[in-house]
């Protein structure tokens, strides 16, 4: 029916749960690994997954290479990370859907992000829908980090949830990982500045293409002063993160801090210019 693609790098803690959510019903599970040096490979082999390894360079290049070079058994691929789980509701939706006669090339799936205490960040989550189920020959990615999915065709939406546990390895891991993301976001910001990339308010507000809309929104957002505070206010007041309780307010604060990481790194790179 569909193949599974899981990206990994030292995921011995989260990978068993991820694999358990798919191996009972999928006969083509692929682990795309960036040369882990923990038990990730051992866990993958024990679960019967197919393994492909490649040195990681950046997110879009890595994902595009995987889609182009991994041989999938089925024409549809569900891409998930090791800290994600296919819920029973999503499994049911996949099993009951007629992909053979589908007019779409990709499907949006709603992701549920869970806080460290198990709270579903229903309101604090920035973007609940992701293009994770697609025909690999009709999908490509852009951007070094937080890549944008670019489908070559129409997009549908499946019911059910993809459950995500971004704090499964603790706060320190989350912060260190977002420091790395900030480096790449700042690099892209300088590239856009150097190329004179133009961003449209009209497209940011009214584009019917979600990918195009998000691209212009992010580009315009990076030009605003006081971005960390704006992001915190947007999450807490506009998206009503306070309805998620303490977890929602804490998550909004962490996201604002991440935005400040990007601001600082961008300034650092500008100061380092000759």
Q: How far is CA 29 from CA 1, 8, 150, in A?
A: 12, 13, 23
Query: What local confidence, expressed as pLDDT, does residue 265 receive?
Result: 92
* pLDDT for position 189: 79
pLDDT at 274: 66
> Quick one: pLDDT at residue 211?
65
| Below-70 pLDDT ranges, the chain | 209-211, 274
CA proximity to 10, closest of 47, 58, 43: 43
Each residue's pLDDT tens digit, 249-262 = 999 999 999 999 99
Question: What are the structural domains, with CATH classification, of the chain?
Answer: 3-164 (3.90.550.10), 171-272 (no CATH)
- Looking up tokens 């809309």, which residue turns up? 213
Please write the tens of the pLDDT for every residue from 61-88.
Answer: 999 999 999 999 999 999 999 999 999 9
Q: What is the pTM of this model?
A: 0.88
The whole-number pLDDT of residue 206 equals: 74
Spatial distance between the Cα atoms of 233 and 125, rounded to a whole number of angstroms: 14
* pLDDT at residue number 128: 86
């Amino acid at each position: 029916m569909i193949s599974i693609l899981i990206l990994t790098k030292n995921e011995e803690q989260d990978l068993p749960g991820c694999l358990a959510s798919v191996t009972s019903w999928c006969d083509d599970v692929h682990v795309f690994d960036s040369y882990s040096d923990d038990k990730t490979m051992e866990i993958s082999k024990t679960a019967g997954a197919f393994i492909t390894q490649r040195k990681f360079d950046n997110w879009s290049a890595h994902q595009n290479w995987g889609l182009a070079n991994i041989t999938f058994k089925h024409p549809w691929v569900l891409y998930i990370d090791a800290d994600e789980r296919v819920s029973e509701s999503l499994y049911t939706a996949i099993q009951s859907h007629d992909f053979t006669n589908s007019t779409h090339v990709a499907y949006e799936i709603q992701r549920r992000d869970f806080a460290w205490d198990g709270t579903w960040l229903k309101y604090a989550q920035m973007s609940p829908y992701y293009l994770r189920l697609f025909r690999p020959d009709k999908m490509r990615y852009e951007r070094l980090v937080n890549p944008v999915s670019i489908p070559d065709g129409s997009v549908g939406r499946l019911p059910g949830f993809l459950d995500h546990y971004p704090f499964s390895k603790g706060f320190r891991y989350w912060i260190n990982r977002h420091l790395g993301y900030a480096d790449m976001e700042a690099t892209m910001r300088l590239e856009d500045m150097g190329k004179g990339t133009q961003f449209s308010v009209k497209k940011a507000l009214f584009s019917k293409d979600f990918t195009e809309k998000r691209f212009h929104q992010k580009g315009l957002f990076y030009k605003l002063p006081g971005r960390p505070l704006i992001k915190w206010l947007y999450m807490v007041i506009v998206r009503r993160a306070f309805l998620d309780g303490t977890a929602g307010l804490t998550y909004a604060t962490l996201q604002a801090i991440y935005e400040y990481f990007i601001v600082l790194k961008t300034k650092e790179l500008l100061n380092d210019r000759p």
